[in-house]
């Protein structure tokens, strides 16, 4: 009898425990979600920390259609970029990299790692930045005073900046990226890198913190634009998420 009561009490308590644990998980879930949200809002610190897994896109594949078609976006995000993330995690496992630390730490000393880590670490980082740099409501000009003044003092005018950045993308031979980055003197610079390299890498010819990156690999534009990379670049300006770029820049100066 006593045993039975004890068991019933135990079961009742267990149920409470389960409920409590479930509630705890739910609370942790919403906490993570709110952290994720603040990350998306690109708080100063989070703008510079990239994990080893793909983050969800903040818009639908077809919502950038005035610049990039939905099929290109879908293949680009769910196949090309997803493969970089998978291969990066694979390389991290093989080479003993702690994936709870920011990817930036690895990129800064990428010469110490394999080519697989370089290609996929760069590929993953570059694409995570690329997706966040785009928005269905993007385009136009930046509004943040600090970024506007840095662009104007660095490149004479916003239009001149656009031309120089576009040229960096157009003139990149083969596959690669055009960058707006902050150099060690905190100055904005434009440059480009081949393949999946980026200015964070110790092996790159240009060095600094990427603020804005443009993917000029053919997979980013070929379905709609074929060989006309310049047309893709011109259209891409219409979906640039200047709010995110401004936050990224302002978090560093
Ligand atoms: Mn790409």
The predicted-structure confidence for 43-81, as pLDDT tens digits, reads as follows: 335 667 999 999 999 999 999 999 999 999 999 999 999
Q: What is the Cα–Cα distance from 17 to 127, expressed in whole angstroms?
A: 42
In the numeric block, which tokens belong to residue 55?
């983050």
For residue 217, the CA-to-ligand 1 centroid distance in Å is 6
The predicted-structure confidence for 19-37, as pLDDT tens digits, reads as follows: 333 333 333 322 222 233 3
pLDDT at 9 over 60: no
For residue 248, the CA-to-ligand 1 centroid distance in Å is 21
For residue 132, the CA-to-ligand 1 centroid distance in Å is 13
Residue 94: the pLDDT is 98
Domains in the chain, please, with CATH? 28-34+68-250 (3.55.40.20)
For residue 220, the CA-to-ligand 1 centroid distance in Å is 5
**Between residues 23 and 189, which one has the greater pLDDT?**
189
> How many degrees, rounded to 5, is the angle at CA 29 between CA 25 and CA 32?
135
In the DSSP assignment, the letter for residue 196 is T
In the DSSP assignment, the letter for residue 237 is G
For residue 176, the CA-to-ligand 1 centroid distance in Å is 9
For residue 152, the CA-to-ligand 1 centroid distance in Å is 29
For residue 195, the CA-to-ligand 1 centroid distance in Å is 10
- Cβ neighbors of 92 (< 8 A, separation 6 or more) are 52, 99, 106, 117
Q: What is the Cα–Cα distance from 13 to 17, expressed in whole angstroms?
A: 6
For residue 189, the CA-to-ligand 1 centroid distance in Å is 22
The predicted-structure confidence for 216-250, as pLDDT tens digits, reads as follows: 999 999 999 999 999 999 999 999 999 999 999 99
Q: What is the Cα–Cα distance from 97 to 184, expressed in whole angstroms?
A: 26
In the numeric block, which tokens belong to residue 115?
């080519």
The predicted-structure confidence for 121-179, as pLDDT tens digits, reads as follows: 999 999 999 999 999 999 999 999 999 999 999 999 999 999 999 999 999 999 999 99
- Cβ neighbors of 155 (< 8 A, separation 6 or more) are 161, 164, 188, 190
């Amino acid at each position: 009898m006593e045993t039975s009561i004890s068991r019933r009490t135990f079961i009742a308590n267990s149920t409470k425990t389960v409920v409590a644990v479930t509630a705890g998980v739910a609370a942790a879930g919403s906490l993570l979600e709110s952290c994720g949200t603040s990350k998306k809002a690109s708080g100063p610190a989070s703008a510079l920390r990239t994990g080893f897994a793909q983050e969800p896109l903040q818009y639908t594949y077809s919502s950038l259609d005035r610049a990039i078609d939905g099929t290109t976006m879908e293949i680009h995000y769910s196949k090309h970029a997803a493969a970089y993330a998978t291969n990066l995690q694979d390389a991290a496992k093989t080479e003993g990299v702690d994936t709870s630390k920011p990817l930036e730490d690895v990129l800064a000393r990428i010469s110490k790692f394999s080519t697989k880590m370089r290609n996929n670490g760069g590929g993953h980082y570059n694409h995570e930045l690329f997706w966040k740099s785009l928005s269905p409501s993007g385009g136009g000009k930046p509004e943040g005073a600090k970024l506007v003044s840095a662009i104007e003092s660095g490149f004479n005018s916003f239009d001149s900046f656009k031309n120089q950045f576009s040229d960096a993308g157009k003139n990149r031979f083969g596959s690669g990226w055009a960058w707006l980055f902050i150099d060690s003197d905190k100055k904005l610079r434009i440059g480009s890198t081949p393949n999946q390299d980026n200015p964070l890498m110790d092996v790159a010819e240009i060095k600094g913190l990427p603020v804005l990156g443009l993917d000029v690999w053919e997979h980013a534009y070929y379905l709609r634009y074929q060989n006309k990379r310049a047309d893709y670049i011109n259209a891409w300006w219409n979906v640039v998420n200047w709010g995110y770029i401004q936050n990224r820049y302002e978090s560093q100066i």
